[in-house]
Amino acid sequence: MRVVSSCLAAACLAGQALAEGLKADIQAEGGRPEDGIQAGPNRFTADGKGTDPHGHEIVRKAEKYAMDHPHQAKEWAESIRFHPYEQKKVDHYAREHPGEVEYIHSQIDDERHADPAKYARVKKEVDTWLTHARTTYPNIHGFLDPEDNVAISFWIVSIAMIAATVFFMWEGLFIGYHWKTSMNVGALVTLIAAVHYLYMREYWVTVHASPIVYRYIDWSLTVPLQMSEFYLILQAVKPDLGGGMFFRLLFGTIIMLLFGFMGEQHIVDPWLGFIVGMAGWGFILFEIFVGEGARVAAGSNMSPAVKSAFGLMRFIVSVGWSIYPLGYFFGYLLGVVSDHPLNLIYNMADFVNKIWFCLAIWAAAKKETRDRMIMKEGLKTPLNP
Protein backbone atom coordinates (compact mmCIF):
# COMPACT_ATOMS: atom_id res chain seq x y z
CA MET A 1 0.00 0.00 0.00
CA ARG A 2 2.93 2.32 0.64
CA VAL A 3 3.87 2.04 -3.03
CA VAL A 4 0.32 2.84 -4.13
CA SER A 5 0.09 5.87 -1.87
CA SER A 6 3.53 7.06 -3.01
CA CYS A 7 2.33 6.79 -6.60
CA LEU A 8 -0.80 8.69 -5.63
CA ALA A 9 1.23 11.44 -3.97
CA ALA A 10 3.55 11.65 -6.97
CA ALA A 11 0.60 11.69 -9.33
CA CYS A 12 -1.07 14.45 -7.32
CA LEU A 13 2.06 16.58 -7.45
CA ALA A 14 2.55 15.96 -11.14
CA GLY A 15 -1.14 16.54 -11.77
CA GLN A 16 -0.97 19.78 -9.79
CA ALA A 17 2.00 21.07 -11.79
CA LEU A 18 0.45 20.05 -15.11
CA ALA A 19 -2.88 21.55 -14.10
CA GLU A 20 -1.18 24.84 -13.30
CA GLY A 21 0.39 24.91 -16.75
CA LEU A 22 -2.95 24.00 -18.30
CA LYS A 23 -4.69 26.73 -16.34
CA ALA A 24 -2.25 29.34 -17.66
CA ASP A 25 -2.82 28.20 -21.26
CA ILE A 26 -6.60 28.28 -20.91
CA GLN A 27 -6.58 31.73 -19.33
CA ALA A 28 -4.28 33.00 -22.10
CA GLU A 29 -6.91 31.88 -24.60
CA GLY A 30 -9.67 33.68 -22.73
CA GLY A 31 -11.29 30.57 -21.27
CA ARG A 32 -12.13 29.55 -17.73
CA PRO A 33 -9.78 27.28 -15.75
CA GLU A 34 -12.57 24.86 -14.92
CA ASP A 35 -13.22 24.30 -18.63
CA GLY A 36 -9.91 22.48 -18.87
CA ILE A 37 -10.72 20.00 -16.10
CA GLN A 38 -12.40 17.02 -17.68
CA ALA A 39 -13.20 13.67 -16.09
CA GLY A 40 -11.12 10.80 -17.37
CA PRO A 41 -11.83 7.05 -17.50
CA ASN A 42 -12.60 5.30 -14.24
CA ARG A 43 -12.29 1.58 -14.80
CA PHE A 44 -11.39 0.37 -11.31
CA THR A 45 -14.33 1.11 -9.03
CA ALA A 46 -15.52 -0.84 -6.04
CA ASP A 47 -18.59 -2.27 -7.78
CA GLY A 48 -16.60 -3.42 -10.81
CA LYS A 49 -18.92 -1.60 -13.22
CA GLY A 50 -16.79 1.43 -13.81
CA THR A 51 -19.20 3.82 -12.12
CA ASP A 52 -18.20 6.21 -9.39
CA PRO A 53 -20.49 9.27 -9.53
CA HIS A 54 -18.77 11.14 -6.74
CA GLY A 55 -15.12 10.25 -7.18
CA HIS A 56 -14.39 12.38 -10.23
CA GLU A 57 -16.14 15.37 -8.71
CA ILE A 58 -13.89 15.12 -5.64
CA VAL A 59 -10.79 14.97 -7.80
CA ARG A 60 -11.95 17.89 -9.96
CA LYS A 61 -12.51 20.03 -6.87
CA ALA A 62 -9.15 19.00 -5.45
CA GLU A 63 -7.40 19.92 -8.70
CA LYS A 64 -9.09 23.29 -8.90
CA TYR A 65 -8.18 24.03 -5.28
CA ALA A 66 -4.58 22.99 -6.00
CA MET A 67 -4.47 25.38 -8.94
CA ASP A 68 -5.82 28.25 -6.86
CA HIS A 69 -3.70 27.45 -3.78
CA PRO A 70 -0.40 25.96 -4.99
CA HIS A 71 1.46 26.74 -1.77
CA GLN A 72 -1.09 24.93 0.37
CA ALA A 73 -1.02 21.97 -1.99
CA LYS A 74 2.74 21.71 -1.68
CA GLU A 75 2.54 22.15 2.10
CA TRP A 76 0.08 19.24 2.29
CA ALA A 77 2.40 17.07 0.21
CA GLU A 78 5.33 17.94 2.49
CA SER A 79 3.30 17.23 5.62
CA ILE A 80 3.12 13.54 4.67
CA ARG A 81 6.73 13.01 5.73
CA PHE A 82 6.16 14.68 9.10
CA HIS A 83 2.80 13.17 10.09
CA PRO A 84 2.42 9.38 9.87
CA TYR A 85 -1.33 9.77 10.42
CA GLU A 86 -1.62 11.76 7.21
CA GLN A 87 0.29 9.03 5.37
CA LYS A 88 -2.17 6.47 6.71
CA LYS A 89 -5.07 8.54 5.44
CA VAL A 90 -3.50 8.62 1.98
CA ASP A 91 -2.99 4.85 2.11
CA HIS A 92 -6.60 4.33 3.11
CA TYR A 93 -8.00 6.66 0.47
CA ALA A 94 -5.90 5.08 -2.28
CA ARG A 95 -7.07 1.62 -1.21
CA GLU A 96 -10.74 2.60 -1.03
CA HIS A 97 -10.80 4.74 -4.20
CA PRO A 98 -8.67 3.04 -6.85
CA GLY A 99 -10.71 4.79 -9.51
CA GLU A 100 -9.38 8.16 -8.45
CA VAL A 101 -5.80 6.89 -8.65
CA GLU A 102 -6.46 5.66 -12.18
CA TYR A 103 -8.20 8.91 -13.06
CA ILE A 104 -5.21 11.01 -12.03
CA HIS A 105 -2.86 8.79 -14.02
CA SER A 106 -5.14 8.97 -17.03
CA GLN A 107 -5.29 12.75 -16.90
CA ILE A 108 -1.52 12.93 -16.77
CA ASP A 109 -1.36 10.57 -19.77
CA ASP A 110 -3.79 12.83 -21.66
CA GLU A 111 -1.54 15.82 -21.02
CA ARG A 112 1.50 13.85 -22.12
CA HIS A 113 -0.09 13.07 -25.48
CA ALA A 114 -1.64 16.53 -25.93
CA ASP A 115 1.53 18.52 -25.30
CA PRO A 116 4.66 16.32 -24.97
CA ALA A 117 7.04 19.29 -24.66
CA LYS A 118 5.14 20.88 -21.80
CA TYR A 119 4.69 17.50 -20.11
CA ALA A 120 8.45 16.81 -20.26
CA ARG A 121 9.28 20.23 -18.85
CA VAL A 122 6.84 20.05 -15.96
CA LYS A 123 7.61 16.41 -15.23
CA LYS A 124 11.29 17.25 -14.93
CA GLU A 125 10.52 19.91 -12.34
CA VAL A 126 8.25 17.59 -10.38
CA ASP A 127 10.72 14.71 -10.52
CA THR A 128 13.50 16.97 -9.27
CA TRP A 129 11.45 17.99 -6.26
CA LEU A 130 10.28 14.43 -5.58
CA THR A 131 13.81 13.07 -5.83
CA HIS A 132 15.03 15.70 -3.41
CA ALA A 133 12.24 14.90 -0.97
CA ARG A 134 12.60 11.12 -1.35
CA THR A 135 16.37 10.99 -0.99
CA THR A 136 16.94 13.77 1.53
CA TYR A 137 14.13 14.02 4.03
CA PRO A 138 13.50 10.34 4.91
CA ASN A 139 17.22 9.71 5.49
CA ILE A 140 18.24 12.62 7.68
CA HIS A 141 17.12 10.75 10.82
CA GLY A 142 16.78 13.67 13.20
CA PHE A 143 19.38 15.91 11.58
CA LEU A 144 18.65 19.42 10.37
CA ASP A 145 16.47 19.85 7.32
CA PRO A 146 18.05 22.69 5.28
CA GLU A 147 14.56 24.03 4.53
CA ASP A 148 13.31 23.92 8.13
CA ASN A 149 14.04 27.41 9.46
CA VAL A 150 12.56 26.63 12.88
CA ALA A 151 14.88 23.65 13.42
CA ILE A 152 17.85 25.73 12.31
CA SER A 153 16.86 28.47 14.77
CA PHE A 154 16.77 25.89 17.59
CA TRP A 155 20.31 24.88 16.71
CA ILE A 156 21.59 28.47 16.45
CA VAL A 157 20.15 29.37 19.85
CA SER A 158 21.60 26.23 21.49
CA ILE A 159 25.09 27.01 20.18
CA ALA A 160 24.76 30.68 21.16
CA MET A 161 23.76 29.68 24.70
CA ILE A 162 26.77 27.36 25.01
CA ALA A 163 29.11 30.08 23.74
CA ALA A 164 27.56 32.62 26.12
CA THR A 165 28.05 30.24 29.05
CA VAL A 166 31.76 29.86 28.29
CA PHE A 167 32.10 33.63 27.89
CA PHE A 168 30.37 34.47 31.18
CA MET A 169 32.29 31.87 33.17
CA TRP A 170 35.61 33.12 31.79
CA GLU A 171 34.79 36.77 32.33
CA GLY A 172 33.70 35.98 35.87
CA LEU A 173 37.38 35.48 36.69
CA PHE A 174 38.18 39.13 36.00
CA ILE A 175 35.54 41.06 37.91
CA GLY A 176 35.20 42.16 41.52
CA TYR A 177 34.50 39.44 44.05
CA HIS A 178 31.14 40.93 45.02
CA TRP A 179 29.97 40.50 41.38
CA LYS A 180 31.00 36.87 40.95
CA THR A 181 27.77 35.34 42.27
CA SER A 182 25.71 37.42 39.86
CA MET A 183 28.00 36.52 36.95
CA ASN A 184 27.90 32.80 37.79
CA VAL A 185 24.10 32.86 38.00
CA GLY A 186 24.04 34.41 34.52
CA ALA A 187 26.22 31.56 33.26
CA LEU A 188 23.78 29.07 34.82
CA VAL A 189 20.90 30.73 32.94
CA THR A 190 22.55 30.26 29.55
CA LEU A 191 23.85 26.78 30.41
CA ILE A 192 20.39 25.49 31.40
CA ALA A 193 18.88 27.08 28.31
CA ALA A 194 21.56 25.48 26.09
CA VAL A 195 20.81 21.98 27.38
CA HIS A 196 17.07 22.43 26.94
CA TYR A 197 17.47 23.84 23.44
CA LEU A 198 19.41 20.75 22.38
CA TYR A 199 16.47 18.62 23.50
CA MET A 200 13.90 20.99 22.00
CA ARG A 201 15.68 20.91 18.65
CA GLU A 202 15.57 17.10 18.66
CA TYR A 203 11.90 17.14 19.63
CA TRP A 204 11.01 19.56 16.85
CA VAL A 205 12.96 17.67 14.18
CA THR A 206 11.51 14.31 15.21
CA VAL A 207 7.92 15.19 16.16
CA HIS A 208 7.56 18.53 14.36
CA ALA A 209 5.44 20.00 17.14
CA SER A 210 5.92 22.64 19.83
CA PRO A 211 8.10 21.35 22.71
CA ILE A 212 5.79 22.89 25.32
CA VAL A 213 6.93 20.76 28.27
CA TYR A 214 10.63 21.39 27.56
CA ARG A 215 10.02 25.12 27.24
CA TYR A 216 8.26 25.38 30.57
CA ILE A 217 10.91 23.27 32.31
CA ASP A 218 13.52 25.62 30.87
CA TRP A 219 11.59 28.71 31.93
CA SER A 220 10.85 27.32 35.40
CA LEU A 221 14.62 27.15 36.02
CA THR A 222 16.01 30.13 34.11
CA VAL A 223 13.35 32.76 34.82
CA PRO A 224 13.67 32.58 38.64
CA LEU A 225 17.44 32.81 38.20
CA GLN A 226 17.01 35.89 36.04
CA MET A 227 14.70 37.45 38.61
CA SER A 228 17.28 36.82 41.32
CA GLU A 229 19.73 38.90 39.29
CA PHE A 230 17.78 42.07 40.09
CA TYR A 231 18.41 41.37 43.74
CA LEU A 232 22.03 40.26 43.27
CA ILE A 233 23.25 43.27 41.30
CA LEU A 234 21.74 45.64 43.87
CA GLN A 235 23.15 43.63 46.76
CA ALA A 236 26.59 43.75 45.12
CA VAL A 237 26.59 47.50 45.72
CA LYS A 238 24.27 47.59 48.77
CA PRO A 239 25.19 44.57 50.93
CA ASP A 240 22.57 45.35 53.60
CA LEU A 241 19.67 44.97 51.13
CA GLY A 242 16.91 42.83 52.68
CA GLY A 243 15.57 39.62 51.16
CA GLY A 244 11.98 40.80 50.71
CA MET A 245 12.54 41.91 47.12
CA PHE A 246 14.01 38.53 46.20
CA PHE A 247 11.03 36.56 47.55
CA ARG A 248 8.46 38.88 45.98
CA LEU A 249 10.06 38.48 42.56
CA LEU A 250 10.22 34.72 43.07
CA PHE A 251 6.53 34.62 44.00
CA GLY A 252 5.49 36.56 40.89
CA THR A 253 7.64 34.30 38.70
CA ILE A 254 6.11 31.10 40.09
CA ILE A 255 2.55 32.38 39.59
CA MET A 256 3.30 33.54 36.05
CA LEU A 257 4.87 30.26 34.90
CA LEU A 258 2.68 27.84 36.88
CA PHE A 259 -0.61 29.17 35.58
CA GLY A 260 0.73 29.61 32.06
CA PHE A 261 1.70 25.95 31.98
CA MET A 262 -1.55 24.74 33.57
CA GLY A 263 -3.52 26.79 31.07
CA GLU A 264 -1.70 25.33 28.06
CA GLN A 265 -2.07 21.80 29.45
CA HIS A 266 -5.79 22.30 30.23
CA ILE A 267 -5.22 21.60 33.93
CA VAL A 268 -7.14 24.84 34.43
CA ASP A 269 -9.21 26.82 31.96
CA PRO A 270 -6.80 28.33 29.36
CA TRP A 271 -8.26 31.81 29.82
CA LEU A 272 -7.93 31.55 33.60
CA GLY A 273 -4.32 30.41 33.23
CA PHE A 274 -3.62 33.36 30.93
CA ILE A 275 -5.22 35.95 33.22
CA VAL A 276 -3.55 34.72 36.43
CA GLY A 277 -0.22 34.32 34.63
CA MET A 278 -0.48 37.91 33.42
CA ALA A 279 -1.19 38.97 37.01
CA GLY A 280 2.07 37.30 38.08
CA TRP A 281 3.96 39.16 35.36
CA GLY A 282 2.29 42.41 36.42
CA PHE A 283 3.41 41.80 40.00
CA ILE A 284 7.02 41.46 38.77
CA LEU A 285 6.77 44.67 36.75
CA PHE A 286 5.35 46.53 39.73
CA GLU A 287 8.30 45.47 41.91
CA ILE A 288 11.00 46.47 39.42
CA PHE A 289 9.36 49.72 38.27
CA VAL A 290 7.83 51.21 41.44
CA GLY A 291 8.59 48.74 44.23
CA GLU A 292 11.58 48.40 46.53
CA GLY A 293 13.91 47.33 43.73
CA ALA A 294 13.16 50.45 41.69
CA ARG A 295 13.65 52.72 44.70
CA VAL A 296 16.99 51.14 45.66
CA ALA A 297 18.27 51.28 42.06
CA ALA A 298 17.39 54.97 41.86
CA GLY A 299 19.29 55.77 45.07
CA SER A 300 22.20 58.18 45.03
CA ASN A 301 24.62 55.54 46.31
CA MET A 302 24.15 53.34 43.23
CA SER A 303 26.86 53.48 40.59
CA PRO A 304 25.96 54.55 37.04
CA ALA A 305 26.87 51.05 35.83
CA VAL A 306 24.34 49.40 38.17
CA LYS A 307 21.64 51.91 37.26
CA SER A 308 22.24 51.32 33.56
CA ALA A 309 22.16 47.53 33.94
CA PHE A 310 19.03 47.66 36.10
CA GLY A 311 17.29 49.82 33.50
CA LEU A 312 18.24 47.54 30.62
CA MET A 313 17.19 44.40 32.51
CA ARG A 314 13.90 46.10 33.35
CA PHE A 315 13.38 46.91 29.67
CA ILE A 316 13.97 43.27 28.69
CA VAL A 317 11.53 41.96 31.31
CA SER A 318 8.82 44.40 30.24
CA VAL A 319 9.21 44.70 26.45
CA GLY A 320 11.18 41.56 25.61
CA TRP A 321 9.03 39.28 27.72
CA SER A 322 5.83 40.59 26.09
CA ILE A 323 6.51 38.12 23.27
CA TYR A 324 5.50 35.19 25.48
CA PRO A 325 2.00 36.29 26.58
CA LEU A 326 1.36 37.50 23.03
CA GLY A 327 2.31 34.05 21.74
CA TYR A 328 0.01 32.41 24.31
CA PHE A 329 -2.87 34.72 23.35
CA PHE A 330 -2.61 34.65 19.55
CA GLY A 331 -1.12 31.17 19.16
CA TYR A 332 -2.88 29.12 21.82
CA LEU A 333 -6.07 30.96 22.79
CA LEU A 334 -7.03 32.38 19.39
CA GLY A 335 -5.16 29.92 17.16
CA VAL A 336 -4.27 32.53 14.54
CA VAL A 337 -0.52 31.81 14.70
CA SER A 338 0.74 28.33 13.80
CA ASP A 339 3.51 26.38 15.53
CA HIS A 340 6.14 27.25 12.90
CA PRO A 341 6.23 31.06 13.26
CA LEU A 342 5.42 30.85 16.98
CA ASN A 343 8.43 28.65 17.77
CA LEU A 344 10.67 30.76 15.55
CA ILE A 345 9.61 33.90 17.46
CA TYR A 346 10.02 32.18 20.83
CA ASN A 347 13.52 31.06 19.89
CA MET A 348 14.60 34.53 18.84
CA ALA A 349 13.02 35.98 21.99
CA ASP A 350 14.93 33.56 24.22
CA PHE A 351 18.13 34.36 22.34
CA VAL A 352 17.74 38.07 23.10
CA ASN A 353 16.06 37.94 26.50
CA LYS A 354 18.53 35.54 28.10
CA ILE A 355 21.86 36.45 26.52
CA TRP A 356 21.27 40.22 26.40
CA PHE A 357 19.99 40.12 29.98
CA CYS A 358 23.21 38.49 31.19
CA LEU A 359 25.35 40.76 29.02
CA ALA A 360 23.85 43.74 30.81
CA ILE A 361 25.07 42.30 34.12
CA TRP A 362 28.50 41.55 32.69
CA ALA A 363 28.85 45.09 31.34
CA ALA A 364 27.88 46.60 34.70
CA ALA A 365 30.25 44.30 36.60
CA LYS A 366 33.11 45.04 34.22
CA LYS A 367 32.62 48.81 34.32
CA GLU A 368 32.12 48.98 38.08
CA THR A 369 35.21 46.82 38.71
CA ARG A 370 37.24 48.91 36.29
CA ASP A 371 36.11 52.19 37.88
CA ARG A 372 37.04 51.00 41.35
CA MET A 373 40.50 49.93 40.23
CA ILE A 374 41.09 53.27 38.49
CA MET A 375 40.13 55.13 41.65
CA LYS A 376 42.50 52.93 43.65
CA GLU A 377 45.50 52.54 41.33
CA GLY A 378 45.21 55.20 38.64
CA LEU A 379 44.49 55.28 34.90
CA LYS A 380 47.32 52.88 34.00
CA THR A 381 45.46 49.99 35.59
CA PRO A 382 45.11 47.08 33.10
CA LEU A 383 41.61 46.11 31.99
CA ASN A 384 41.79 42.71 33.73
CA PRO A 385 42.74 42.77 37.45
Q: Residue 141 pLDDT > 70, yes or no?
A: no
Of 15-29, 33-47, 256-270, the range with the highest mean pLDDT is 256-270
Residue type, 300: S
Question: pLDDT-derived band of residue 270, with 50, 70 and 90 as boundaries?
Answer: very high
Q: How confident is residue 59, by pLDDT bands cut at 50, 70 and 90?
A: low
**Contacts for 222 with CB less than 8 Å, ≥ 6 apart:** 189, 192, 193, 354
Q: Please tell me which of 6-10, 349-353, 366-370 the model is most confident about, judged by mean pLDDT.
A: 349-353
Half-sphere exposure of 360 (CA within 13 A, CB side): 22
* pLDDT score recorded for residue 40: 39
Mean pLDDT computed over 145-156? 87
Domains of the chain: 2-139 (no CATH), 149-377 (1.20.1070.10)
Distance CA 166, CA 74 (A): 43
Burial of 225 (0-12, 13-18, 19+ CB in 10 A): middle
User: What is the pLDDT, as a whole number, of residue 317?
Assistant: 94
pLDDT(82) > 70:
no
